[in-house]
Protein backbone atom coordinates (compact mmCIF):
# COMPACT_ATOMS: atom_id res chain seq x y z
CA UNK A 1 0.00 0.00 0.00
CA UNK A 2 3.00 2.32 0.57
CA UNK A 3 6.18 2.29 -1.56
CA UNK A 4 8.47 4.73 0.25
CA UNK A 5 7.40 4.35 3.86
CA UNK A 6 6.29 1.57 6.20
CA UNK A 7 3.22 2.19 8.38
CA UNK A 8 2.68 -0.11 11.36
CA UNK A 9 0.60 0.12 14.51
CA UNK A 10 1.08 -1.55 17.86
CA UNK A 11 0.10 -0.76 21.45
CA UNK A 12 -1.60 2.53 20.52
CA UNK A 13 1.45 3.78 18.61
CA UNK A 14 1.76 4.41 14.85
CA UNK A 15 5.27 3.72 13.54
CA UNK A 16 6.12 5.55 10.33
CA UNK A 17 9.43 4.39 8.86
CA UNK A 18 10.99 6.31 5.96
CA UNK A 19 12.01 3.47 3.70
CA UNK A 20 14.50 4.43 1.00
CA UNK A 21 17.67 3.25 2.78
CA UNK A 22 19.80 3.20 -0.40
CA UNK A 23 19.34 7.01 -0.59
CA UNK A 24 19.53 7.47 3.17
CA UNK A 25 15.73 7.96 3.12
CA UNK A 26 15.85 11.10 0.97
CA UNK A 27 12.53 12.78 0.19
CA UNK A 28 10.77 12.34 -3.14
CA UNK A 29 7.33 13.70 -4.13
CA UNK A 30 5.87 10.22 -3.58
CA UNK A 31 7.35 10.04 -0.09
CA UNK A 32 5.71 13.39 0.71
CA UNK A 33 2.33 12.08 -0.43
CA UNK A 34 2.69 8.85 1.49
CA UNK A 35 3.91 10.53 4.67
CA UNK A 36 1.03 12.96 4.65
CA UNK A 37 -1.41 10.14 4.06
CA UNK A 38 0.06 8.13 6.95
CA UNK A 39 -0.20 11.12 9.29
CA UNK A 40 -3.87 11.58 8.31
CA UNK A 41 -4.54 7.90 8.99
CA UNK A 42 -2.84 8.19 12.41
CA UNK A 43 -4.80 11.35 13.18
CA UNK A 44 -8.17 9.75 12.37
CA UNK A 45 -7.50 6.44 14.13
CA UNK A 46 -8.83 6.81 17.69
CA UNK A 47 -6.75 3.84 18.83
CA UNK A 48 -3.55 5.71 17.94
CA UNK A 49 -2.33 7.97 20.74
CA UNK A 50 1.32 8.56 19.71
CA UNK A 51 3.27 8.59 16.46
CA UNK A 52 6.92 7.64 15.89
CA UNK A 53 8.79 8.74 12.76
CA UNK A 54 12.06 6.93 12.07
CA UNK A 55 14.29 5.79 9.22
CA UNK A 56 15.13 2.39 7.72
CA UNK A 57 18.80 1.41 7.57
CA UNK A 58 21.62 3.60 8.84
CA UNK A 59 20.04 7.05 8.33
CA UNK A 60 17.05 8.98 9.61
CA UNK A 61 16.61 11.14 6.49
CA UNK A 62 19.05 12.93 4.15
CA UNK A 63 16.63 15.65 3.04
CA UNK A 64 15.66 16.31 -0.56
CA UNK A 65 16.64 13.55 -3.01
CA UNK A 66 19.34 15.35 -4.96
CA UNK A 67 19.56 12.60 -7.56
CA UNK A 68 15.93 13.28 -8.47
CA UNK A 69 16.11 17.05 -8.11
CA UNK A 70 14.46 18.77 -11.06
CA UNK A 71 16.35 22.06 -11.20
CA UNK A 72 13.84 23.48 -13.69
CA UNK A 73 11.27 23.56 -10.88
CA UNK A 74 10.76 26.59 -8.66
CA UNK A 75 11.92 25.25 -5.27
CA UNK A 76 9.42 27.59 -3.60
CA UNK A 77 6.69 25.52 -5.22
CA UNK A 78 8.44 22.27 -4.20
CA UNK A 79 8.25 23.49 -0.59
CA UNK A 80 4.66 24.70 -0.85
CA UNK A 81 3.50 21.42 -2.34
CA UNK A 82 5.51 18.88 -0.34
CA UNK A 83 7.46 20.04 2.70
CA UNK A 84 5.24 22.81 4.07
CA UNK A 85 2.05 20.72 4.29
CA UNK A 86 4.09 17.92 5.90
CA UNK A 87 5.43 20.19 8.64
CA UNK A 88 1.95 21.67 9.18
CA UNK A 89 0.51 18.14 9.42
CA UNK A 90 2.98 17.23 12.20
CA UNK A 91 2.35 20.42 14.13
CA UNK A 92 -1.44 20.27 13.84
CA UNK A 93 -1.65 16.57 14.75
CA UNK A 94 -3.02 16.68 18.30
CA UNK A 95 -1.13 13.59 19.40
CA UNK A 96 2.53 13.44 20.43
CA UNK A 97 4.92 12.90 17.51
CA UNK A 98 8.35 11.44 18.30
CA UNK A 99 11.29 11.61 15.91
CA UNK A 100 13.35 8.48 16.54
CA UNK A 101 16.62 9.61 14.98
CA UNK A 102 18.45 6.40 14.24
CA UNK A 103 21.25 7.94 12.14
CA UNK A 104 22.08 11.05 10.17
CA UNK A 105 19.38 13.73 9.79
CA UNK A 106 20.46 16.15 7.05
CA UNK A 107 18.82 19.13 5.37
CA UNK A 108 15.04 18.76 5.38
CA UNK A 109 15.58 15.50 7.29
CA UNK A 110 16.84 17.60 10.21
CA UNK A 111 13.87 19.96 9.75
CA UNK A 112 11.51 17.00 9.95
CA UNK A 113 13.03 16.00 13.29
CA UNK A 114 12.92 19.59 14.60
CA UNK A 115 9.18 19.84 13.86
CA UNK A 116 8.38 16.80 16.00
CA UNK A 117 7.40 17.10 19.66
CA UNK A 118 10.16 14.85 20.97
CA UNK A 119 13.52 13.83 19.53
CA UNK A 120 15.09 10.61 20.76
CA UNK A 121 18.55 10.13 19.30
CA UNK A 122 20.50 6.94 18.88
CA UNK A 123 24.17 7.25 19.84
CA UNK A 124 24.74 6.87 16.04
CA UNK A 125 22.56 9.91 15.21
CA UNK A 126 23.83 13.22 13.89
CA UNK A 127 22.40 16.43 12.47
CA UNK A 128 23.68 18.41 9.49
CA UNK A 129 22.25 21.66 8.22
CA UNK A 130 23.26 20.45 4.76
CA UNK A 131 21.39 23.13 2.80
CA UNK A 132 24.35 25.53 2.75
CA UNK A 133 26.62 22.91 1.14
CA UNK A 134 24.39 22.96 -1.95
CA UNK A 135 23.91 26.73 -1.87
CA UNK A 136 20.41 26.61 -0.37
CA UNK A 137 18.78 27.96 2.76
CA UNK A 138 17.24 25.97 5.64
CA UNK A 139 13.60 25.17 4.92
CA UNK A 140 10.69 23.02 6.11
CA UNK A 141 10.30 25.01 9.32
CA UNK A 142 14.02 24.86 10.07
CA UNK A 143 14.32 28.64 10.40
CA UNK A 144 11.37 28.58 12.81
CA UNK A 145 12.21 25.61 15.01
CA UNK A 146 16.02 25.65 15.16
CA UNK A 147 16.46 29.09 16.81
CA UNK A 148 13.62 28.25 19.19
CA UNK A 149 15.36 25.00 20.15
CA UNK A 150 18.96 26.21 20.49
CA UNK A 151 18.82 30.03 20.45
CA UNK A 152 19.58 32.49 17.64
CA UNK A 153 23.38 32.54 17.84
CA UNK A 154 23.81 28.74 17.78
CA UNK A 155 21.16 28.39 15.07
CA UNK A 156 23.04 30.87 12.87
CA UNK A 157 26.27 28.96 13.43
CA UNK A 158 24.72 25.59 12.58
CA UNK A 159 22.80 26.90 9.54
CA UNK A 160 25.68 28.86 8.02
CA UNK A 161 28.61 26.54 8.77
CA UNK A 162 26.67 23.32 8.17
CA UNK A 163 28.94 21.29 10.43
CA UNK A 164 27.95 17.85 11.66
CA UNK A 165 26.45 17.82 15.18
CA UNK A 166 26.91 14.46 16.92
CA UNK A 167 24.19 13.03 19.19
CA UNK A 168 26.00 13.96 22.42
CA UNK A 169 26.55 17.53 21.16
CA UNK A 170 22.88 17.72 20.14
CA UNK A 171 21.89 16.67 23.67
CA UNK A 172 24.13 19.36 25.19
CA UNK A 173 22.41 21.92 22.94
CA UNK A 174 18.95 20.77 24.02
CA UNK A 175 18.20 19.61 20.46
CA UNK A 176 17.24 16.10 21.57
CA UNK A 177 15.26 14.76 24.53
CA UNK A 178 17.61 11.86 25.12
CA UNK A 179 20.54 9.96 23.60
CA UNK A 180 20.17 6.18 23.71
CA UNK A 181 22.76 3.48 23.04
CA UNK A 182 22.17 2.06 19.57
CA UNK A 183 21.71 -1.56 20.77
CA UNK A 184 18.70 -0.63 22.92
CA UNK A 185 17.43 2.26 20.78
CA UNK A 186 14.30 0.64 19.32
CA UNK A 187 13.16 -0.90 22.62
CA UNK A 188 13.68 2.41 24.46
CA UNK A 189 11.81 4.38 21.78
CA UNK A 190 9.01 1.83 22.00
CA UNK A 191 8.83 2.16 25.80
CA UNK A 192 8.73 5.96 25.54
CA UNK A 193 6.07 5.93 22.82
CA UNK A 194 3.88 3.43 24.69
CA UNK A 195 4.22 5.57 27.83
CA UNK A 196 3.00 8.62 25.89
CA UNK A 197 0.20 6.57 24.32
CA UNK A 198 -1.14 5.69 27.76
CA UNK A 199 -1.28 9.30 28.94
CA UNK A 200 -4.23 11.77 28.67
CA UNK A 201 -4.06 12.28 24.90
CA UNK A 202 -6.56 15.15 24.78
CA UNK A 203 -4.54 17.13 27.31
CA UNK A 204 -1.31 16.44 25.38
CA UNK A 205 -3.00 17.64 22.17
CA UNK A 206 -4.14 20.83 23.89
CA UNK A 207 -0.67 21.45 25.37
CA UNK A 208 0.81 21.03 21.89
CA UNK A 209 -1.73 23.33 20.20
CA UNK A 210 -1.44 26.16 22.68
CA UNK A 211 2.31 25.89 23.25
CA UNK A 212 2.83 26.38 19.51
CA UNK A 213 0.33 29.25 19.49
CA UNK A 214 2.04 30.95 22.45
CA UNK A 215 4.98 32.00 20.23
CA UNK A 216 2.66 34.46 18.50
CA UNK A 217 0.69 35.58 21.58
CA UNK A 218 1.07 38.10 24.37
CA UNK A 219 0.46 37.20 28.03
CA UNK A 220 -3.20 38.22 27.93
CA UNK A 221 -3.84 35.91 24.98
CA UNK A 222 -1.92 33.05 26.56
CA UNK A 223 -3.89 33.38 29.81
CA UNK A 224 -7.15 33.21 27.85
CA UNK A 225 -5.90 30.28 25.73
CA UNK A 226 -5.02 28.42 28.94
CA UNK A 227 -8.54 29.06 30.23
CA UNK A 228 -10.03 27.72 26.98
CA UNK A 229 -7.76 24.66 27.04
CA UNK A 230 -8.45 23.96 30.72
CA UNK A 231 -12.17 24.24 30.11
CA UNK A 232 -11.88 21.49 27.49
CA UNK A 233 -9.45 19.33 29.49
CA UNK A 234 -11.64 19.65 32.58
CA UNK A 235 -14.51 17.94 30.75
CA UNK A 236 -12.54 14.86 29.67
CA UNK A 237 -12.92 11.35 31.04
CA UNK A 238 -9.16 11.32 31.70
CA UNK A 239 -9.41 14.33 34.03
CA UNK A 240 -12.11 12.60 36.08
CA UNK A 241 -10.11 9.37 36.06
CA UNK A 242 -6.95 11.21 37.16
CA UNK A 243 -8.71 12.80 40.14
CA UNK A 244 -10.49 9.55 41.11
CA UNK A 245 -7.23 7.61 40.91
CA UNK A 246 -5.49 10.21 43.07
CA UNK A 247 -8.23 10.10 45.72
CA UNK A 248 -8.35 6.30 45.67
CA UNK A 249 -4.53 6.07 45.82
CA UNK A 250 -4.31 3.92 42.68
CA UNK A 251 -2.66 4.22 39.26
CA UNK A 252 -4.88 6.05 36.74
CA UNK A 253 -6.06 4.27 33.64
CA UNK A 254 -6.32 6.93 30.93
CA UNK A 255 -8.23 6.26 27.72
CA UNK A 256 -7.27 9.35 25.71
CA UNK A 257 -10.75 10.91 25.83
O1 LIG B 1 13.88 20.75 -4.22
C2 LIG B 1 14.81 21.20 -3.51
O3 LIG B 1 15.99 20.86 -3.66
C4 LIG B 1 14.48 22.14 -2.41
C5 LIG B 1 14.45 21.45 -1.08
C6 LIG B 1 15.57 21.27 -0.35
C7 LIG B 1 15.56 20.58 0.96
C8 LIG B 1 16.87 19.90 1.30
O9 LIG B 1 16.82 18.96 2.06
S10 LIG B 1 18.33 20.49 0.64
C11 LIG B 1 19.55 19.41 1.35
C12 LIG B 1 19.60 18.07 0.63
N13 LIG B 1 20.40 17.09 1.34
C14 LIG B 1 21.72 17.12 1.31
O15 LIG B 1 22.36 17.98 0.75
C16 LIG B 1 22.41 15.96 2.01
C17 LIG B 1 23.18 15.14 0.99
N18 LIG B 1 23.81 14.01 1.63
C19 LIG B 1 24.92 14.13 2.37
O20 LIG B 1 25.46 15.19 2.59
C21 LIG B 1 25.50 12.85 2.90
O22 LIG B 1 25.00 11.77 2.14
C23 LIG B 1 25.17 12.61 4.40
C24 LIG B 1 25.96 13.61 5.24
C25 LIG B 1 23.68 12.72 4.68
C26 LIG B 1 25.64 11.18 4.79
O27 LIG B 1 26.98 11.00 4.39
P28 LIG B 1 27.60 9.53 4.33
O29 LIG B 1 29.04 9.69 4.01
O30 LIG B 1 27.25 8.81 5.58
O31 LIG B 1 26.82 8.77 3.16
P32 LIG B 1 27.01 8.95 1.57
O33 LIG B 1 28.04 8.01 1.08
O34 LIG B 1 27.17 10.39 1.24
O35 LIG B 1 25.55 8.50 1.04
C36 LIG B 1 25.20 7.13 0.90
C37 LIG B 1 24.38 7.01 -0.37
O38 LIG B 1 23.19 7.78 -0.21
C39 LIG B 1 25.11 7.59 -1.58
O40 LIG B 1 24.72 6.84 -2.71
P41 LIG B 1 25.76 5.78 -3.41
O42 LIG B 1 26.98 6.55 -3.75
O43 LIG B 1 25.99 4.76 -2.34
O44 LIG B 1 24.98 5.27 -4.58
C45 LIG B 1 24.53 8.99 -1.66
O46 LIG B 1 24.60 9.53 -2.96
C47 LIG B 1 23.09 8.73 -1.27
N48 LIG B 1 22.47 9.97 -0.73
C49 LIG B 1 22.70 10.54 0.45
N50 LIG B 1 21.98 11.63 0.57
C51 LIG B 1 21.26 11.75 -0.56
C52 LIG B 1 21.58 10.68 -1.40
N53 LIG B 1 21.03 10.53 -2.62
C54 LIG B 1 20.15 11.47 -3.01
N55 LIG B 1 19.81 12.52 -2.25
C56 LIG B 1 20.33 12.70 -1.03
N57 LIG B 1 19.95 13.74 -0.25
pLDDT band at residue 223 using 50, 70 and 90 as cut-offs: very high
pLDDT band at residue 70 using 50, 70 and 90 as cut-offs: confident
Residue 57 has pLDDT above 90, yes or no: yes
Q: Is the fold of 5-197 the same as that of 201-247?
A: no
Q: Is the CB of 86 under 6 A from ligand 1?
A: no
Residue 111 CA to residue 104 CA, distance in Å, equals 12
The domains of the chain are located at 5-197, 201-247
pLDDT tens digit sequence for 112-127? 999 999 999 999 999 9
pLDDT band at residue 206 using 50, 70 and 90 as cut-offs: very high
Strands (E), the chain: 5-10, 13-18, 50-55, 59-61, 97-101, 104-106, 118-122, 126-128, 165-166, 178-180
Q: In the sheet where 97-101 sits, what is the strand order?
A: 5-10, 13-18, 50-55, 97-101, 118-122, 178-180
Average pLDDT over residues 195-206: 98
The alpha carbon of 23 and the centre of ligand 1 are apart by a number of angstroms equal to 7
Return the CATH fold of 201-247: Lyase 2-enoyl-coa Hydratase; Chain  A, domain 2 (1.10.12)
Average pLDDT over residues 74-98: 97
The alpha carbon of 253 and the centre of ligand 1 are apart by a number of angstroms equal to 45
Average pLDDT over residues 201-219: 98
Q: Is the CB of 104 under 6 A from ligand 1?
A: yes
The protein residue whose alpha carbon is closest to atom 56 in ligand 1 is 65
Mean pLDDT (the chain, rounded) = 97
The pLDDT score that the predictor gives to residue 198 is: 98
pLDDT tens digit sequence for 155-179? 999 999 999 999 999 999 999 999 9
Confidence (pTM): 0.98
The alpha carbon of residue 23 and the mean position of all alpha carbons in its chain are separated, in whole angstroms, by 21
The class of domain 5-197 in CATH terms is alpha beta
Q: Measured from the CA of 126, which atom of ligand 1 is nearest?
A: 24
Residue 66 has pLDDT above 90, yes or no: yes
The protein residue whose alpha carbon is closest to atom 30 in ligand 1 is 104
Amino acid sequence: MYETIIYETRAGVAWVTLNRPEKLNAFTPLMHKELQKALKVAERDEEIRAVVITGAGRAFCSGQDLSNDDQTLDYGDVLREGYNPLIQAIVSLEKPVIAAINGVAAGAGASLAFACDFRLASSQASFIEAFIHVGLVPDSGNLYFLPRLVGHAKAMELAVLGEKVRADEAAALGLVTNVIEDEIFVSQVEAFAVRLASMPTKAIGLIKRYMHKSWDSDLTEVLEDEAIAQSTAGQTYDHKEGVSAFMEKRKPSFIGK
